[in-house]
Amino acid sequence: MVTQGGLIRNLCRVFGLAICCWFGLAAPASALTGNEQVSLAGTGKFEALVSGMELMLDKQPMKSSDWYSLCYGYSRVKHYGKILDCLDSLDKSLAKGDTRTRLFGLDDATAASHLMRAEALIELAEYDPALVQVQKALDWYQREKSDDKDIFINALAAKSLATLALGRRAEAERLSAELEGFSLGMTGGDYVGAKSLAMARVNMALGNWQKVLDALAQDKIFGLRSFLDNLASGAFLLGINNWVWIELPRAFMQTKALLELGQLDAARSGYDKLLAVPQVKANGEIYWMALYDRGRIAERQGQLEEAERFFQEAAEVIERQRRSINSEANKIGFVGDKQAVYASMVANQFRQGRFGQSFESMERGKSRALVDLLASNQSQRLISPKSANAAKVTQVLDRIRNADLDSRRQDESRIRSVSQAGGSNELQTLASALPSSLASLVSVSRLDLKEAQSLVKPDEALIEYFAAGDELFATLVQSNSVHGVRINASQVESVVRSLRQNMQEGSPQALGQLQALHKLLIEPLLPNIRVKHLSIVPHGVLHYLPFGALNDGKQDLIDRFTLRILPSLAVLKYLRPSQTKGIERLLVLGNPDLGRPDLDLPSAQNEAEKLAAKFKAEHLLLRKKATRTAFQALAPGAAFIHVASHGQFEAGKPLQSGLILAADKPGGGINAGRLTVSDLYELALDAELVTLSACETGLGAVASGDDVVGLTRGFLYAGVSTVIASLWQVDDEATTYLMLQMYEHLQRGGYPDALRKAQIETRAKYPHPMFWAAFYLTGLN
Check which CATH number belongs to the domain holding 266 and give it: 1.25.40
447 in a structural domain: no
CB atoms within 10 A of CB 240: 16
* Residue 753: per-residue pLDDT: 92
Q: Do 665 and 687 fall within a single domain?
A: yes
CATH number at residue 632: 3.40.50.1460
* Chain mean position to CA 23: 44
CATH number at residue 480: 3.30.420
Last residue of a domain, one of 543, 558, 573: 573
Q: Do 774 and 640 fall within a single domain?
A: yes
547 in a structural domain: yes
Question: In DSSP terms, which residues pair with 722 in a beta bridge?
Answer: 689, 779
Quick one: which H or E segment has residue 620? Answer: strand 619-623
444 in a structural domain: no
Q: Do 150 and 279 fall within a single domain?
A: no
Question: Do 360 and 563 contact (CB within 8 A), yes or no?
Answer: no
Last residue of a domain, one of 192, 214, 242: 242
Report helix, strand or coil for 52: helix
Q: Do 589 and 730 fall within a single domain?
A: yes
Q: Do 678 and 618 fall within a single domain?
A: yes
Q: Do 216 and 197 fall within a single domain?
A: yes
33 in a structural domain: yes
The angle subtended at Cα 593 by Cα 590 and Cα 595, nearest 5°, is 160
Q: Would you tell me the crossing angle of helices 4-15 and 222-233 to the nearest 10 degrees?
A: 100
* Residue-wise DSSP of 97-148: T----SGGG-S--HHHHHHHHHHHHHHTT-HHHHHHHHHHHHHHHHHTT---
Give dist(CA 500, CA 555) in Å, integer. Answer: 20
* Chain mean position to CA 276: 29
Total residue length of the chain: 781
114 in a structural domain: no
Q: State the total domains in the chain.
A: 5
Give dist(CA 509, CA 781) in Å, integer. Answer: 32
Last residue of a domain, one of 108, 126, 148: 108
Print the domain residue range for 139. Answer: 135-242
Name residues whose C-beta falls within 8 Å of residue 620's C-beta, 6 or more positions apart in sequence: 588, 590, 608, 609, 612
704 CB burial (10 A radius; 0-12, 13-18, 19+): middle
Q: Do 592 and 653 fall within a single domain?
A: yes
Low-confidence ranges of the chain (pLDDT < 50): 1-27, 236-238, 242, 377-382, 412-424, 696-709
Q: Do 510 and 395 fall within a single domain?
A: no
* Chain mean position to CA 636: 30
Q: Do 642 and 518 fall within a single domain?
A: no
Indicate the pTM of the whole model: 0.79
565 in a structural domain: yes
Question: Do 336 and 295 contact (CB within 8 A), yes or no?
Answer: no
Give dist(CA 630, CA 589) in Å, integer. Answer: 10
* Residue 512: per-residue pLDDT: 94
Give dist(CA 693, CA 714) in Å, integer. Answer: 16
552 in a structural domain: yes
Q: Do 187 and 94 fall within a single domain?
A: no
Q: Do 463 and 542 fall within a single domain?
A: yes
Question: Do 287 and 281 contact (CB within 8 A), yes or no?
Answer: yes
Give dist(CA 697, CA 695) in Å, integer. Answer: 6
Question: In DSSP terms, which residues pair with 757 in a beta bridge?
Answer: none
CB atoms within 10 A of CB 292: 25
* Residue 652: per-residue pLDDT: 62
127 in a structural domain: no
CB atoms within 10 A of CB 512: 13
* Residue 1: per-residue pLDDT: 37
Handedness of CA 78, 84, 89, 93 (dihedral sign): positive
Q: Do 416 and 549 fall within a single domain?
A: no
**Exposure string for 526-550, b = 16+ CB within 10 A, e = fewer:** eeebeeebbbbbbbbbbbbbbbbbb
